[in-house]
């Protein structure tokens, strides 16, 4: 299975984005941009693990 989430540097820090769409991840109407690198890495990892388990709660 291919990876779905990754991070990239943005103007204010790091963005967690959906590799399939190229768009930033949005959680509770907040785009996940401008994050500290460790927060971005942790969030991308969490999203990846929940996607692999089929949990769609964070993927809406």
Q: Is residue 22 part of a domain?
A: yes
Tens of pLDDT, residue by residue over 1-50, are 578 999 999 999 999 999 999 999 999 999 999 999 999 999 999 999 98
Domain span including residue 20: 5-52
The pTM for the full model equals 0.84
Q: Is residue 59 part of a domain?
A: no
Supply the pLDDT for residue 58. 54
Q: Is residue 58 part of a domain?
A: no
- Cβ-proximal residues to 27 (8 Å cutoff; 6+ apart), any chain: 58
Give phi and psi for 50, each to the nearest 5.
-70, -35
Q: Is residue 23 part of a domain?
A: yes
């Amino acid at each position: 299975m291919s990876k779905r989430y990754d991070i990239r540097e943005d103007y204010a820090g790091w963005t967690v984005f959906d590799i399939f769409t190229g768009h930033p991840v949005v959680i509770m109407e907040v785009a996940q941009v401008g994050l500290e690198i460790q927060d971005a890495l942790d969030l991308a990892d969490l999203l990846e693990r929940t996607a692999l388990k089929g949990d769609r709660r964070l993927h809406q």
